[in-house]
Amino acid sequence: MPGTAHPLTETVGIEITGCRPAELLTLDAAADTRSALDRHGVVIYRDLHISDDELVDFSRLLGTVVLQPTGEHNHPEIQTITMDPNKTNALLASYRQGNFHWHIDGATESIPQKATLLTAREIDPAGGDTEFATTYAAYSALSESEQRELDSLQVLHSFAQAQSLANPDATEPERASWDRVPTRVHPLVWTRRNGRKSMLLGATAQEIVGWPASKGRALLDKLLAWSTQPRFTLRQKWQKGDLVIWDNTGMLHRALHFEPTSVRLLHRTTLAGEESVQG
């Protein structure tokens, strides 16, 4: 792997310094990045200053890049992550309020995205860090009997659930538009072909299938609190030019507070899911 790697915590994250974008654009560097992603969940290339063209090229070396229908950027692969309606449209700015709550990207899709890449174009000195929590480590740290109780459960995920957390004062027409996004049931515990297990939790998790609503809510809230304890989390304090990649199939993540008028601007690509969700 080009540059110098430093693991960040016991459970999650590796940081690489001293790497230039051109060095990443090789099959070997992409393979190294993928294995670092599997092993550490979050890979941070500090001070990389990757261009938009290079970001798309590197994403293509890592996997299948999802095309974005939003037309936010001249590259159809790139999303502009900002809350400022002058830099994006008002609807997207409102949806992105959801980023302040722990979530997994694409949880209402049949296969959630494999990974997300975010690079900082403009940062906010007053806030806007990003936090990650590994549900691989959180699941492993449960007792065997707790794991067994979770292994058979199914969770209903909905866009409306996530948006009602983020936009509690929404109007009826807004709520009706959220309800038009199809919901999805996934196993709570996702078992990979390689035997590793993570949990699909977060803002979209609405109920445990077949359980009374309040009992399901209590378990989902308890598991989210368990998984986001400091020992399972990593906080990324952005510097301009950082590139952060996370294994979205096992990392919850959220943005920490920043003002909607902030200059904060991240460019994002996503890699399509590769393995169907199996219990």
Q: How far is the CB of 107 from ligand OGA (least distance, A)?
A: 11
CA contacts within 13 A on the Cβ side of 190:
24
* Residue 247 lies near Mn ion (rule: CB under 5 A): no
* Residue 267 lies near ligand OGA (rule: CB under 6 A): no
Give the helix ranges, DSSP H, for the chain: 21-24, 27-40, 52-62, 90-95, 135-140, 144-151, 159-166, 172-179, 213-227
* Residue 204 lies near ligand OGA (rule: CB under 6 A): no
- Nearer to Mn ion by C-beta: 56 or 252? 252
Interface positions, 229-258, toward ligand OGA (CB under 6 A): 253, 255
Q: Which partner from the list Mn ion, ligand OGA, none does 252 bind, CB cut-off 5 to 8 Å by kind?
A: none
- Nearer to ligand OGA by C-beta: 11 or 116? 116
Q: How far is the CB of 179 from ligand OGA (least distance, A)?
A: 22
Number of H helices, E strands in the chain: 9, 15
Among the listed residues 5, 28, 29, 39, the one whose alpha carbon sits nearest the alpha carbon of residue 196: 39
CB under 5 A: which stretch of 37-45, 103-111, 161-169, 269-277 binds Mn ion? 103-111
Q: Are 44 and 242 in contact (CB under 8 A)?
A: yes
Q: Are 88 and 72 in contact (CB under 8 A)?
A: yes
Q: Which partner from the list ligand OGA, Mn ion, none does 81 bind, CB cut-off 5 to 8 Å by kind?
A: ligand OGA
Q: Which partner from the list ligand OGA, Mn ion, none does 59 bind, CB cut-off 5 to 8 Å by kind?
A: none
Residue given tokens 């009826």 in the structure block: 172
Q: Where do contacts with Mn ion occur on this chain (CB under 5 A)?
A: 105
